Amino acid sequence: MVAAYADLPDSEQVQEWLKEDASIFAAFRIREGEYNMMLFELHKNLWGYHTWREAIVKERKIPGRAERIPSTAIYLSNVLMEKYDPSAAVQLIKQGFLEKTTTEINGCELDELSLNVLTSLTSGEGISVNENLLAKELGVHRRTVSDRIRKLIDAEVLFRPVCRFPSFFVPPNFLLVFSLLEVRKSYDQFMHDIHSDPHISLAYRISEGRYNLLLFEAHLSLEDYLRWESFYNARHPGCFGSIKNTYLTPRMTISIDPQKVSLGVINERLEELRESNQQITRRTSNAYLRRSGRLKRQR
């Protein structure tokens, strides 16, 4: 993953590109120094990221360096992911309901049944793959589909189906805080708390200047975030050094579309397989023609 602070024209052309590009997971409007947008991108590796960057400039998807402030990128490796739990904030909704501070979301009134359904769907309970439909669509036997699904899940190419929040990182109406932290001491104890903290959906170990930890946090408000920070300051005195936060509200969202990225990866792989099959076919055909020619000459 690459988190990029960018200086881009807020035009219809750029917004259309942000919504359609298969490498862009999410895009937000921000006001962070010289930058007016924040992009979250997914790339196979650094080479893929740099060739993608060169291509979008050549194709005039974005202005060249002479026409904008160069972007600042933070590189995040899945190998260094400390926590991945996009549905963690469900517990915040349940807590708010019990404390009568959260009674509705997006105009939907909450009750105990709604909370139970929400918890079940975001954890994958009660959701299953329609193997019969897939088998019919793909023209294969249901057992073949079932076997392939099992292999993909066992290999951790896919997780079992779950429901995600539309904003993926946080529930509707919550504030997303992209937080770079300098954890000076008690790192292991702090991370132990983070793993069970419903405010945290993603956490990465990083090495970005003085910062060594990145958190994606969900909070109802800025005041809620400040209470959260005060709690950890009291629990782990002297743990935090510098903190750099970027606050992203629902109104700042341009696009969030994880499915677009997943489909882009699948389409790219299918294209590679088609090209590989075509090369094999050409080599086989050429070998056959050469063999046929030799046989004719021998006769």
pLDDT of residue 266: 67
Q: pTM of the full predicted structure?
A: 0.81
Average pLDDT, the chain: 87
Residue 74, SS3? strand
CA 116, 119, 121, 127 dihedral sign is negative
pLDDT of residue 196: 94
**Smallest Cα–Cα separation from 240: which of 294, 290, 190?**
190
pLDDT above 70 for 290: no
Which stretch of DSSP H or E encloses residue 205? strand 200-208
Range among 74-78, 123-127, 293-297 with highest mean pLDDT value: 74-78
Q: What is the mean pLDDT of residues 8-15?
A: 90
Range among 120-129, 147-156, 237-246 with highest mean pLDDT value: 237-246
Comparing 157 with 256, the larger pLDDT belongs to 256
pLDDT above 90 for 199: yes
pLDDT of residue 129: 84
- For 164, residues 6+ apart whose C-beta sits below 8 A from its C-beta are 86, 87, 122, 258
For 76-101, the pLDDT digits (tens) are 998 999 999 988 999 999 998 888 88
| Architecture of the structural domain at 2-75 | 2-Layer Sandwich (3.30)
pLDDT above 90 for 29: yes
pLDDT of residue 66: 80
Q: How far is CA 250 from CA 10, 172, 175, in A?
A: 17, 8, 7
pLDDT above 90 for 289: no
pLDDT band (50, 70, 90) for residue 264: low
Burial label, 123 (beta-carbon count in 10 A; 0-12, 13-18, 19+):
middle
pLDDT above 90 for 271: no
For 204-246, the pLDDT digits (tens) are 999 999 999 999 999 999 999 999 999 999 999 999 999 999 9
For 63-194, list the strands marked E by DSSP. 72-75, 81-84, 104-105, 108-109, 175-183
Helix-then-strand count for the chain, H and E: 9, 12
Comparing 8 with 64, the larger pLDDT belongs to 8
What is d(CA 110, CA 281) in angstroms, rounded to the nearest whole number?
Answer: 59
pLDDT of residue 291: 67
Q: How far is CA 269 from CA 136, 144, 232, 257, 274, in A?
A: 23, 21, 44, 19, 9
pLDDT of residue 295: 57
Residue entry with tokens 């933070």: 74
Q: What is the mean pLDDT of residues 242-263?
A: 87
Residue 224, SS3? helix
Low-confidence winner among 73-87, 100-114, 253-267 (lowest mean pLDDT): 253-267
pLDDT of residue 257: 86
Domain ranges of the chain: 2-75
Comparing 11 with 294, the larger pLDDT belongs to 11
pLDDT above 80 for 276: no
pLDDT of residue 189: 94
